[in-house]
Amino acid sequence: MTKIVEVKDLSKHYGKVKAVDNVSFKLEEGKIYGLLGRNGAGKTTIMHMLTAQIFKTSGELKVFGEEPYENENVLNRICFIKESQKYPETFRVKDVLNVSPLFFPNWDKEFAMALVEDFRLPLKRRMKKLSRGMLSAVGIVVGLASRAPLTVFDEPYLGLDAVSRNLFYDRLLEDYGEHPRTIVLSTHLIDEVSQLLEHVLVIDGGKLLLDEEAETLRGNASNVVGAAAKVESFVSGKKVIHRAPFGGLMSATVLGQLSAQDRMSAVELGLEIGPVSLQQMVVHMAGGNGKSGEAAQ
């Protein structure tokens, strides 16, 4: 597999605030990645550094094998659509679509026009007059029609209604099937995208908590429910990322594959074992109490 992005010990500090702290990961060609985490976790900062829009404090950063800063080879192969994308005030929707091919060599005009129809975008309206949802839709059109080898969507569907969000997922998958490329979806609407993702990165407090294939991950955590004492004895020695006692009962989320023996003993103890959705997992790992984050490492 060709490595599209290689990040090693990447950090970004603002004074004493460590927005991104010693993060290392790799992105491979032709996969859909999910970059998940809470608001302010450092997702956007990482992507800004990948596209040389802000500068790293330390660490190594290679995109398509090269440093991205002022590097035409790298920059014209990336399309990064962020939630706070700014457009010149006087631009209309069609002006944005007209200048896009000047910066994205793989631009497909017909596809862009079809998407404009799908999202019912008014071509002649000025960008600053668009609603939040329409603004997001313009970003999605640019991101999809650019067909950039590395396409990054940062919270792409702010203000989009459910119909449009589904449309986005459908078009993304369809076009990805015909024109494979590397796609990074950064979002907190995890349940909605969890079926699309092939690989998951979870960030919290500027640190990388998880870097795992979505497939492995799906069977990699379980919810154990039963009498508190029995649950405790069952989970001892396992990685517990979340505990929720209620009354004499307890629900615990365990990380790691359960063996057949584990399942047998759970039955004997009268415990119920259920699956954990990706969203729940991220919530627990990046969740309210700081301890859970440490437990996961």
Judged by CB under 8 A, the residue of 1, 17, 39, 86 near other proteins is 86
Nearer to other proteins, 99 or 189 (CB): 99
285, 288, 292, 297 alpha-carbon torsion, rounded to 10°: 50
User: Taking the complex as a whole, how short is the minimal distance between the CB of residue 135 and other proteins, in angstroms?
Assistant: 13
186 binds other proteins (CB under 8 A): no
106 binds other proteins (CB under 8 A): no
95 binds other proteins (CB under 8 A): yes
71 binds other proteins (CB under 8 A): yes
Classify strands 272-275 and 239-246 as parallel, antiparallel or unpaired.
unpaired
279 binds other proteins (CB under 8 A): no
Nearer to other proteins, 83 or 262 (CB): 83
70 binds other proteins (CB under 8 A): yes
Helix (H) or strand (E) holding 253: strand 249-255
Tokens linked to 219: 């069977």
Q: CA 251: distance to chain centroid?
A: 27
Nearer to other proteins, 104 or 111 (CB): 104
102 binds other proteins (CB under 8 A): yes
Site string for other proteins, 45-64 (x = CB under 8 A): ---x--x-xxx---------
Nearer to other proteins, 121 or 217 (CB): 121
28 binds other proteins (CB under 8 A): no
72 binds other proteins (CB under 8 A): yes
Half-sphere exposure of 104 (CA within 13 A, CB side): 26
193-199 CB contacts, 8 Å cutoff, 24+ apart: 193/34, 193/169, 194/34, 194/277, 194/278, 194/279, 196/32, 196/34, 196/169, 196/172, 197/32, 197/33, 197/34, 197/278, 198/31, 198/32, 198/33, 199/28, 199/31, 199/32, 199/33, 199/34
Residues that bind other proteins (CB under 8 A): 48, 51, 53-55, 70-72, 75-76, 78-80, 82, 85-91, 95, 98-100, 102-104
